[in-house]
Chain A
Amino acid sequence: MSMELRTSPHQVSDRSVERIMKHVVLSLLPVCGFSVWQYGLSALALLLVTTATCLATERLLNRAAKQPSTLNDWSATITGVLLALTLPPAFPLWMAVVAGFVAIAIGKALFGGLGFNVFNPALIGRAFVQAAFPVAITTWVPAFSAQRFSEFVPTTLTAPLMMPPDIVEWIKLQAVDAFTGATPLARWKFENVVASSYDLLTGVVTASAGETSAILILLCGAYLAARKFMDWRIPVAVLASAALTAWMFQLYDPAHYPAPTFVLLSGGLMLGAVYMATDMATSPVTPLGVWIYGAVIGVVTVMIRYFGGLTEGVMYAILLGNALTPFIDLYTQPRVFGTRQQGKKK
């Protein structure tokens, strides 16, 4: 009788990087589809341009570093799609190219590629264009305008390096009733108007291309979590800590601070919690660390929204969480099985 001897690991997993990434891209398709349905050609062009830029940059830098192509691990695709979803739908395409290049070149390749990046590349891209083009990134357009499938929003096709045209007149022509040009968060912050939870859930509000329908994002996230392509603890921790913080503020002063449901459903919190914070390369790996990481993101998001100059804080909250990740991992390492707990004698 012969016996086959093998070294560990004995349990073979088929969860490769490519497979996980491919499923994340698949799960993003409904969100992208909804965005295109809402905003039409402009959103579609934005998605295609950022993704193409990210892929091209990745290929170019692979070649410059004389490395084999890393296009087929799908990570650059995810960066491109996520980047488009965080940008306003009518964002000028040439700025989207800048954002895509910065995301891959500075956010990822500079650190040594996938797995070595400290920050979420898509958010680095967005943070750069937010600092570079503060007006364009806060120019919002109404959803479901009549000609959205036949014509672009004028700002989308701005000539490279040029300033996007003023679209106040164009928005008036769309005859969308009572469009204020402000996101629900901005309306709460500056006008004290709280949007209805139903509108926020279904996504019929003014926002970035992909941060509108909370239900859709949650469903896609649930699929990923169920297939174990994503750590479910991170979105749960982010949302729970944001809700808890908001609830405490509301208890303190109900007239000034909105309900936790508004905080959860508005802005990019859903998209950020489900797709950005869960990026495997930039989130902690220890079970306790994941909860701390999520909690930090949730609290910081609410703090920036309530006390910061910006209306939305998810991006900076996640980037801050990313920066804390190595630190969190270092201090939350679980006890190795069979060893004594530190500090305890016998």
Chain B
Amino acid sequence: MSLPNQADEGITFDTFMEGVWRQNPVFVMVLGMCPTLAVTVSAVNGLSMGVATLFVLVSSCLLVSLIRHLVPKEVRIATYIVIIATFVTLVDYLIQAASLALYEALGAFIQLIVVNCIILGRAEAHASKNPPLKAVVNALGMGVGFAIGLFALGATREILGAGKLFGITLFGDNFQPWVVMVLPPGGFFVLGGWLLLFALLRSRKEGKVQA
């Protein structure tokens, strides 16, 4: 998917909303599927993974945008990766300090934010061509969109797979958990369901525009 080059436009509401809705990383671009499928077994896991990614995304886009005139073209990808890895290390230690249980639940996927294609994609396609403020607003939108996506998946899987949301029992003790939903196949089923819903919404919207 080619991303539009918005180098010469000012900051609009769409700069932010692009990532939340029109180019949503999870539901529209289907990027970063590795954490999306692997850690979203509960709403808490999904949301914290989303927030961690949001933080790394915004900080690295800000830095990439600030130094965009200093980095030679030939080494830009390596530079971006070093910047991203720095912030990931920060997040890694922060989560470990805040909650060891959460850290263990997310496992290697925190470190793997380094290779999350949304972040490198934003740095390359947007932050390296735009002034810092615009880059941050756009990254914020993308991060929020990603976090919403992970939360939606995590909540659906937790409700069906355990009958809970944020650890609170929803349907009483007699609820029959759908074991498959917390297993890897459940991730694919739920993601497929959400993609279907989004495709349906978009096709309706396009239909209206044409009519």
A residues with a Cβ closer than 8 A to B are 95, 106, 128, 131-134, 136, 158, 161-164
Q: Say what secondary structure dominates the interface of chain B.
A: mixed
What is the distance, in angstroms, from A184's C-beta to the closest C-beta of chain B? 26
Q: Does B179 lie at the interface of the complex (its beta carbon under 8 Å from any beta carbon of A)?
A: yes
Q: List 5 A-B contacts (CB under 8 A).
A: A133-B176, A133-B178, A136-B176, A162-B176, A164-B176
Q: Does B174 lie at the interface of the complex (its beta carbon under 8 Å from any beta carbon of A)?
A: yes
Question: Which of B7-15, B90-98, B180-188 touches A?
Answer: B180-188
* B179→A131 contact, CB < 8 A: yes
Q: Does B166 lie at the interface of the complex (its beta carbon under 8 Å from any beta carbon of A)?
A: no
**B residues 166-208 in Cβ contact with A at 8 Å:** 171, 174-176, 178-181, 183, 185, 189
Our pick among A128, A132, A134, A163 for the contact of B175 (Cβ within 8 Å) is A163
* A161→B180 contact, CB < 8 A: no
* B174→A132 contact, CB < 8 A: no
Q: Kindly list chain B residues whose C-beta atoms are within 8 Å of the C-beta of A136.
A: 176
Q: Kindly list chain A residues whose C-beta atoms are within 8 Å of the C-beta of B175.
A: 161-163
In the bound complex, CA of A266 to CA of B175 (Å): 33
Shortest Cβ distance from B160 into A: residue: A132
Write the B73-117 contact mask toward A (1 if CB under 8 angstroms, else 0).
Answer: 000000000000000000000000000000000000000000000
In the bound complex, CA of A102 to CA of B18 (Å): 34
Q: Kindly list chain B residues whose C-beta atoms are within 8 Å of the C-beta of A133.
A: 176, 178-179
In the bound complex, CA of A131 to CA of B174 (Å): 19
Given contacts A131-B183, A163-B175, 16 further A-B contacts (CB under 8 A): A95-B176, A131-B179, A131-B180, A132-B179, A132-B180, A132-B181, A133-B176, A133-B178, A133-B179, A134-B179, A136-B176, A161-B171, A162-B175, A162-B176, A163-B174, A164-B176
Interface residues of B toward A: which range?
10 to 19
Q: Kindly list chain A residues whose C-beta atoms are within 8 Å of the C-beta of B180.
A: 128, 131-132
In the bound complex, CA of A247 to CA of B189 (Å): 40
In the bound complex, CA of A132 to CA of B160 (Å): 10
Q: Kindly list chain A residues whose C-beta atoms are within 8 Å of the C-beta of B178.
A: 132-133
What is the distance, in angstroms, from B182's C-beta to the closest C-beta of chain A? 10
Interface core residue of B171, B179, B181, B183 (most chain A CB under 10 Å): B179
Q: Nearest 10 pairs between A and B by C-beta?
A: A131-B180, A132-B180, A163-B176, A132-B178, A162-B174, A163-B174, A132-B179, A162-B176, A134-B179, A161-B175
In the bound complex, CA of A128 to CA of B181 (Å): 10
B residues with a Cβ closer than 8 A to A are 171, 174-176, 178-181, 183, 185, 189
Q: Kindly list chain A residues whose C-beta atoms are within 8 Å of the C-beta of B171.
A: 161-162
What is the distance, in angstroms, from B157's C-beta to the closest C-beta of chain A? 12
In the bound complex, CA of A161 to CA of B181 (Å): 14
In the bound complex, CA of A162 to CA of B170 (Å): 12
What is the distance, in angstroms, from B140's C-beta to the closest C-beta of chain A? 36
Q: Kindly list chain A residues whose C-beta atoms are within 8 Å of the C-beta of B185.
A: 131
In the bound complex, CA of A164 to CA of B174 (Å): 8
Shortest Cβ distance from A130 into B: residue: B180
Q: Kindly list chain A residues whose C-beta atoms are within 8 Å of the C-beta of B183.
A: 131
What is the distance, in angstroms, from B206's C-beta to the closest C-beta of chain A? 17
In the bound complex, CA of A14 to CA of B175 (Å): 51
Our pick among A106, A128, A161 for the contact of B176 (Cβ within 8 Å) is A161
Shortest Cβ distance from A165 into B: residue: B174
Q: Kindly list chain B residues whose C-beta atoms are within 8 Å of the C-beta of A134.
A: 179
Q: Kindly list chain B residues whose C-beta atoms are within 8 Å of the C-beta of A131.
A: 179-180, 183, 185
In the bound complex, CA of A106 to CA of B179 (Å): 18
Shortest Cβ distance from A92 into B: residue: B176
Q: Kindly list chain A residues whose C-beta atoms are within 8 Å of the C-beta of B189.
A: 106
Interface core residue of B175, B179, B180, B189 (most chain A CB under 10 Å): B180
Shortest Cβ distance from B196 into A: residue: A110
Q: Kindly list chain B residues whose C-beta atoms are within 8 Å of the C-beta of A128.
A: 180
In the bound complex, CA of A134 to CA of B183 (Å): 13
In the bound complex, CA of A162 to CA of B179 (Å): 13
What is the distance, in angstroms, from A187's C-beta to the closest C-beta of chain B? 25
In the bound complex, CA of A132 to CA of B186 (Å): 9
Q: Kindly list chain A residues whose C-beta atoms are within 8 Å of the C-beta of B176.
A: 95, 133, 136, 158, 161-164
In the bound complex, CA of A162 to CA of B176 (Å): 5
In the bound complex, CA of A95 to CA of B179 (Å): 13
Shortest Cβ distance from A164 into B: residue: B176
In the bound complex, CA of A161 to CA of B178 (Å): 9
Q: Kindly list chain B residues whose C-beta atoms are within 8 Å of the C-beta of A161.
A: 171, 175-176
In the bound complex, CA of A134 to CA of B161 (Å): 13
What is the distance, in angstroms, from B160's C-beta to the closest C-beta of chain A? 9
What is the distance, in angstroms, from B191's C-beta to the closest C-beta of chain A? 13
Q: Kindly list chain A residues whose C-beta atoms are within 8 Å of the C-beta of B181.
A: 132
In the bound complex, CA of A131 to CA of B179 (Å): 7
In the bound complex, CA of A134 to CA of B178 (Å): 9
Shortest Cβ distance from B173 into A: residue: A163
In the bound complex, CA of A60 to CA of B180 (Å): 25
Shortest Cβ distance from B172 into A: residue: A162
